[in-house]
Amino acid sequence: MLTGRRSLQERLRIYEEAIRLKERGLGYKRIAKILKEKYGSSPSPGMICNWVKGRHHPLGSCNKLVMGPELAYVIGGWLGDGTLALDRPRYQYYVKLSVKDYDFAESWGYYLSKALGKSTPYKPRWSKHNQRWVVRGSSIQLYLILKRVRSTGNPWILISYLNPYPAYALRGLFDAEGSVCPQWYEIEFTNTNMELITLTQWLLRRLGIESRSYSHMMKRFLKDPQSDRIYQRRQTVLYDLRIRGRVNILRFTERVGFTIKRKQRKLKELLQRYRANQL
């Protein structure tokens, strides 16, 4: 069995691997054997069963995540615009979103409260310094999961949370990093992480939506228009995922869509162009 000497990160990693192995169709005894071989100790088959069925969690009293579409949306939005913050004196592990659209921040805060089992939505606050709406919630479990993604650059770690709810995961992703170009008849998703592009493309295919990806170089240095300070980019390659074609656009509209009203209007304009030109 797992001992109390294991760190929260280690317990969470074993839990996530057990869930993934079960999704591959392995039995509880087989999963326990694999985990013991890899980590030197393992939860019992009965405990793994309780994990899978949601009756117990290895982090015990730490605020438990509620698996569902709300969590998938929260993670999708965070992958685009999210950050993490640790308040050590108060033992607060914050998951944050900082965006320019209030409706996005409001929706993300609502879904975050549901994902953390809270009855009151997290409300956005305006940051004068960043000129953004900021919303945050404290969850050591979600913090540790997302910290692994941030440190490795591998969003596929989150697949067990996103795979059951691809539409919600994609709506969060496209609310954060998506745009609509009516004049080019396309929906675009951009990011500097190619792994996130391939994950997004994979989720789209699950909904029958085809897309293509491209890359281009960005200028290494950029100027802040407000402070005139010069910054050097960490990444100089930008990846674009583009959804084109009437069937794919319609499927995206029906199955994914946007929460942000200004993006909804752009998508409506694109659909009107299709009707007007009968493409």
Tens digits of per-residue pLDDT, 174-230?
999 999 999 999 999 999 999 999 999 999 999 999 999 998 776 665 666 666 666
Residue 54 Cα distances to 1, 14, 18, 47, angstroms? 18, 15, 13, 10
Q: What's the mean per-residue pLDDT of the chain?
A: 87
Question: What pLDDT score does 40 carry?
Answer: 82
The predicted structure's pLDDT at residue 1: 46
At position 101, the amino acid (one-letter code) is D
**Residue with the two structure tokens 């998508």:** 267
Any idea which residue has 């929460």 for tokens? 259
192: exposed, middle or buried (C-beta count within 10 Å: 0-12, 13-18, 19+)? middle
Per-residue confidence (pLDDT) for residue 186, from 0 to 100: 96
Whole-angstrom CA distances from 37 to 16, 28, 41 are 16, 14, 7
pLDDT tens digits for 226-252? 666 666 656 668 899 999 999 999 999
CB 146: neighbour CB atoms within 10 A? 23
> Percentage of the chain surpassing pLDDT 90?
56
Q: What percent of the chain has pLDDT over 70?
A: 85
Predicted confidence at residue 267, as pLDDT, reads 97
Between residues 39 and 127, the one the model is more confident about = 127
Q: Which domains does the chain have, with CATH numbers?
A: 8-52 (no CATH), 69-160 (3.10.28.10), 163-277 (3.10.28.10)
- Which CA distances in Å does 8 have to 3, 43, 62, 181, 214? 11, 15, 10, 44, 39
Closest CA to 19 of 170, 146, 161, 122: 161
